[in-house]
Structure 1
Amino acid sequence: MTLAKQMADKAPLWSAMVAEHGLRDTPYDKLVGWGFGDFIFNTEFDVISDMGKIRRAGFNETVDSGAALLAAIRRLQDKKVLPRF
């Protein structure tokens, strides 16, 4: 299953959510790159990431991924792109 195929016919549902929650009328095809999601979640190879080289170059700051994701969702809610639940 691919996200691009699974989500292709969901524009009417998005339009209903926009109307129900008073959201900004953002075109469904501009919201998410489903193909990118397919690339990230369905790789045919192992992804190995090593942060050692960048740390040795002095880039030591870290970000709490969960907090960053929640902050991004809240910003989209504040802009009325996503509903609040």
Structure 2
Amino acid sequence: MKVVKKVEINLLIIVAIIFILGIGYAIGYYFGKQDGIKEGILITPILLREESLRKGSCVLCQQDKNSESLQVNKEEM
């Protein structure tokens, strides 16, 4: 009887530890995903600008960087 009780208690402790680890994993996954989305939103414009400068044309609209529509008039400044 005592052996069965010890086994049940040990099994209960193991299940509780696995459950707690699962909850911690789920919480970490959720917050990590939220941070990743925020970081992606912040870094995307920088990466697009960098790629556009390398290619010499706009990545989104494929316009050449020397196009008049992309140039800033000195009078506007």
The two structures have a TM-score, normalised by structure 2, of 0.24
Q: Which has the higher helix share?
A: 2
Larger-gyration structure (1/2): 2
Q: Higher relative contact order by CA 8 Å / sep ≥ 6: 1 or 2?
A: 1
* TM-score, length basis structure 1: 0.22
